[in-house]
Amino acid sequence: MKLKQSLPILLPALIAFGCKDNNKQEEKDEVAEDSIAQQDTIRYHSEPLITDHYTADPSAHVFKDKIYIYPSHDWDSGEPEMDDGNHFNMKDYHVYSMEDPNGEVTDHGEVLSVEDVAWAKRQMWAPDAAEKDGKYYLFFPAKDKDDIFRIGVATADNPEGPFNPEEEPIEGSYSIDPAVYKDTDGEYYMYFGGIWGGQLQRWQTGEFAEEDEYPADDEPALRPKIAKMSDDLLSFAEEPKDVEILDENGEPITTGDNDRRFFEAAWVHKYNGKYYFSYSTGDTHNIAYAIGDSPYGPFTYQGVILEPVVGWTNHHSIVEYEGKWYLFYHDSSLSEGKTYLRSMKMMEIEYDEDGKIKTMQSYTEVD
């Protein structure tokens, strides 16, 4: 057997979200069809956790001695595939739970819909959840009436919902992929941001810009954001700050460093007293990570947790359960490569003696 690194980059998402040349659509369609046919030679290292519908961006937490998963809910809305990601047109959320990592997954049904959210128009993308004082919070991005991504919050008395949304998004919020981390001292922090369809590039001046603008390739890449949360977890307690991701020389990762720069899907966990900031590199399809001494960073790049999966996107979470660590992620294996129809999966994480996470692959090619 040998690792098959080329397949994810050849799948149908090449014809859409990450494509910069829509004039080559026909050629890319042919490449995608060839790539899907190659799935017969693939052995996947894990199976979808849910097979009766499509789930993506799984956010996993341990509540009440169970693993609860808060993913987005993919469906085919008929939107054409474009660079702005409009075909990721999710409209509601389900909650899932597992009493055992190797056991059955319970679907608790729909817990929040875009129709329930007064300020939201469409595209309920990757959510996250948190618990405080017996109350449960669902944080979610959605586009408002002006098609600008904001971050909302909904609350429930139980981890399985249903969730009741606030009337307005979090003041000062923007972009996508909220991830709320509870530190060991009891403070809560939200990490957020994503480029391209996530609109982070439009907020460089503090105001929303109508056109995309990115730093030059040799300049520091756009940074994810962090903000400490208020006591009730319904607002920011401070202005969002940049999260620095540095290379081995202590220099900021640059825009042109596509293999390492932040794209979307921030997540933080703590291991042996260190903060692990993990994220997706987007168009190079890695789940990468960096380590720091504070929830604010800076974080120094360490390597890749998960190499490219089948499909264009990946979005993950990391959780400890009964002394073992698990990576939750998604791919497009169940839909045979449709990048907007994804399925959540999980694998166990291993650390080496220095605290480095061992790089994993989601599949291998069988000769």
**Cα angle vertex 191, ends 186, 195, to 5°?**
175
Which residue, chain included where needed, has tokens 């469906």?
A: 75
| Residue 354: active-site member | no
Instruction: Give the 3-state secondary structure of the chain.
Output: CECCCCHHHHCHHHHCCCCCCHHHHHHHHHHHHHHHHHHHHEEECCCCCCCCCEEEEEEEEEECCEEEEEEEEECCCCCCCCCCCCCCCCCEEEEEEECCCCCCEEEEEEEEEHHHCCCEEECCCCCEEEEECCEEEEEEEEEECCCCEEEEEEEECCCCCCCEECCCCCCCCCCCCCEEEECCCCCEEEEECCCHHHCHHHHCCCCCCCCCCCCCCCCECCCCEEEEECCCCCCECCCCEECCEECCCCCECECCCCCCCCCEEEEEEEECCEEEEEEECHHHCCEEEEEECCCCCCEEEEEEEECCCCCCCCCCEEEEECCEEEEEEEECCCCCCCCCCCEEEEEEECECCCCCECCECCEEECC
- Say how many C-beta atoms besides its own lie within 10 A of residue 210's C-beta: 5
Active-site residue (options: 74, 81, 264, 331)? 264
| Residue 264: active-site member | yes
Cα–Cα distance for residue pair 216/145, rounded to 1 Å = 32
Residues 49 and 78: beta-carbon distance below 8 Å: no
Residues recognised as catalytic: 57, 264
